[in-house]
């Protein structure tokens, strides 16, 4: 092991443990709440409310991290981990009041989504500071960790019931907390635990910058298109258990399908450092937008569990490509003093998609069934793909940041 590889190893640990937690909290939310007596519509409301709260708090938390000298990205990650551990522990209490299940699981969902841009931003801040981090490799480790947790969770739930879900959440967030705790590097100025830009540079930027919303109007059109893609993406993921049940599957088949999609993301993640040197993040975002819709159409046309499995490879060039491409695109487009906030707005598209996808998906399934939900998911995704194609733009910082991709 060399000093050059240590930052990537540490960041891979953080990404891996975070995406394990994402799998168990988000993908198994529907199953956990069903087991506590909630209907599909009620589950949609819980997930949607959590999404609204997190969408409001994501830019706020990122803005604090951008401007504060005390509440750094790393510190915020540690604080949110403690919140997650407490909520998961409460869900293990016997005889918990019906509404408390929704309240504490909703907090888990909201906090998880607030954490996502912070985990991405801390990796990009390393790269911007000249610390050698292979973002694609680390995010690929996140995908394989997601897949492993999916297989593990499906087996544990089959054997021990949905009580295993809060236990696994506790395990995952102990891992996230530990990985964030050791995420410290030595720079020319000594140990760097916060990964903030130099204060003088920050003051220089703040004094003469255009307001964020005015400076990036086209960026917000892109976010609207991506939100539509994530309406579909979250319908397929939040209600995967119901989709598998429609095809006579169960929790084990659900775990296999979710695990497959995560494993298949890995080649793209590992190859991303090469891809970003050959293609612009603008082009890669367009490709990913197209494959979100391809997966939706394949899922809609599936007539068996095997058909659902065969739809998962589209995840490679859909969500698998979108995650690193969107992070690099935002990092290249947004000025340094607002990058954490830019990442938060990009991640908020997932959150907004979760809100509308959860609500619409739940009501469609209760009112019209699984096939109707899949049809509308594909239609919305296609509209989002069109918006993405016409709203991405060339980035002035593209050359500088793609050069440091590896």
Q: Hey, what are 235's tokens? A: 């319908």
Residue 82, pLDDT score: 95
Residues contacting residue 102 through CB under 8 Å, at least 6 positions apart: 33, 38, 42, 46
Q: Please name which of 169, 64, 167 lies closest in space to residue 112, comparing C-alpha atoms.
A: 169
**What average pLDDT is seen over the chain?**
82
Residue 319: which of 364, 388, 358, 269 has the closest Cα?
Answer: 269
pTM over 0.95: no
Rg (CA), the chain: 20
Backbone angles phi, psi at 129, to 5 degrees: -85, 0
CB-facing half-sphere around the CA of 25: CA atoms within 13 A:
30
Q: Provide the H-helix boundaries in 302-338.
A: 305-311, 319-333
Write out the two tokens for 223.
């976010």
- The residue with tokens 């590992």 is 270
pLDDT digit string, tens, across residues 44-55: 888 888 888 888
The residues of the chain scoring below 50 in pLDDT are 187-191, 193, 197-207, 400-406
> pLDDT of 121-143, one tens digit each?
888 788 777 787 888 788 888 87
């Amino acid at each position: 092991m060399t000093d050059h590889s240590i930052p990537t190893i540490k960041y891979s640990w953080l990404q891996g443990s975070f995406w394990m937690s994402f799998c168990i909290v988000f993908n198994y939310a529907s199953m956990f709440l069903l087991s506590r007596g909630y209907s599909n519509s009620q589950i949609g409301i819980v997930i949607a409310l959590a999404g609204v709260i997190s969408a409001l708090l994501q830019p706020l938390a990122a803005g604090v991290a951008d401007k504060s000298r005390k509440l750094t990205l790393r510190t915020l990650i540690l604080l949110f981990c403690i919140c997650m551990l407490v909520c998961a522990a409460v869900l293990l209490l016997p005889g918990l009041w019906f509404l408390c299940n929704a309240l504490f699981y909703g907090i888990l969902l909201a906090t998880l989504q607030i954490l996502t841009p912070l985990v991405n931003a801390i990796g990009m801040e390393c790269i911007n500071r000249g610390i050698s981090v292979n973002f694609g490799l680390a995010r690929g480790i996140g995908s394989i960790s997601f897949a492993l947790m999916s297989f593990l969770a499906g087996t544990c739930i089959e054997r021990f019931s949905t009580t295993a879900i809060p236990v696994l959440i506790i395990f995952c967030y102990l891992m996230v907390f530990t990985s964030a705790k050791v995420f410290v590097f030595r720079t020319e100025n000594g140990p760097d635990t916060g990964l903030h830009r130099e204060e003088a540079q920050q003051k220089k930027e703040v004094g003469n910058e255009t307001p964020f919303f005015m400076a990036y109007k086209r960026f917000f059109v892109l976010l609207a298109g991506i939100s539509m893609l994530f309406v579909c993406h979250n319908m397929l993921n939040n209600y995967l258990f119901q989709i598998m049940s429609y095809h006579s599957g169960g929790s084990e088949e659900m775990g296999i399908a979710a695990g497959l999609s995560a494993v298949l993301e890995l080649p793209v993640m590992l190859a991303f450092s090469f891809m970003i040197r050959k293609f612009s993040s603008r082009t890669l975002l367009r490709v990913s937008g197209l494959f979100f819709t391809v997966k939706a159409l394949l899922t809609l046309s599936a007539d068996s569990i095997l058909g659902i499995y065969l739809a998962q490879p589209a995840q490679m060039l859909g969500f698998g490509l979108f995650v690193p491409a969107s992070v690099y695109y935002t990092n290249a487009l947004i000025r340094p003093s607002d990058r954490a906030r830019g990442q938060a707005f990009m991640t908020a598209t997932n959150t907004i998609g979760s809100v509308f996808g959860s609500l619409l998906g739940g009501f469609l399934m209760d009112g019209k069934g699984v096939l109707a939900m899949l049809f509308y998911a594909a239609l919305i995704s296609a509209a989002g793909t069109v918006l993405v194609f016409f709203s991405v733009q060339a980035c002035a910082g593209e050359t500088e940041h793609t050069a440091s991709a590896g």
